[in-house]
Amino acid sequence: MATLDAALAPRASAWADRVRAIALTGQLPTLVCLGEHAPLAPAISWRDGRADHWAAERVDRALRMSMYARTGMPIDGRYLAPMLRFILPTAWIRCAASFLRKTISCLR
């Protein structure tokens, strides 16, 4: 959150004092790896299909259904952990702690 605060501070809205509430919606799972002060690499969009094959080899239907039953999330190549494969090799180590535990556990 500190990283986000630092990134957004210079961009504070000029009408912040008039805004009572903000509703946010966004893209389907899209991966952004944050460093100390800024994103470490471009965002990988949910439309990125490079991890589909890679994830299919590691997450069979049984594991996928099991994880879905436990977490409520479908696990496939468009999920965050498989996408991580395509982040800069030196970057993902620095941001490993920012992922959901369940995502990491399913690929152990």
Partner 1 sequence: MFAKGLGGGYPVAALGGRRDIMSLVAAGTVSMAGTYAANGIAVAAANAALDELSQPGKYEALFARCERFYDSLSEILKAHRLPGYVVGLGPVLQVWFAEHPIKNYRDAAVTRTTTCFGVGGESMLEHNILFHPGAFENLFVSFAHSDEDIDRTLKAADDVAVRFVPMSDAPRAPDLALGIDLGTSAVKVMAIDAAGSVVGEAQGTFATLSREPLQAEQSTADWFDRLGECDGNARRSVGAARLCLG
Site residues for partner 1 per CB under 8 A: 7-8, 11, 13-15, 18-28, 30, 32, 39, 42-50, 52, 86
Least distance between partner 1 and beta carbon 1 (Å): 16
Least distance between partner 1 and beta carbon 76 (Å): 14
Instruction: Rank residues 9 and 62 by Cβ distance to partner 1 and give the closer one.
Output: 9
Instruction: Rank residues 9 and 93 by Cβ distance to partner 1 and give the closer one.
Output: 9
Q: Answer whether 42's CB lies under 8 Å from 30's CB.
A: no
Instruction: Rank residues 36 and 69 by Cβ distance to partner 1 and give the closer one.
Output: 36
Residue 67's contacts (CB-CB under 8 Å, 6 or more residues apart) are: 59, 73, 75, 102, 106
Least distance between partner 1 and beta carbon 49 (Å): 4
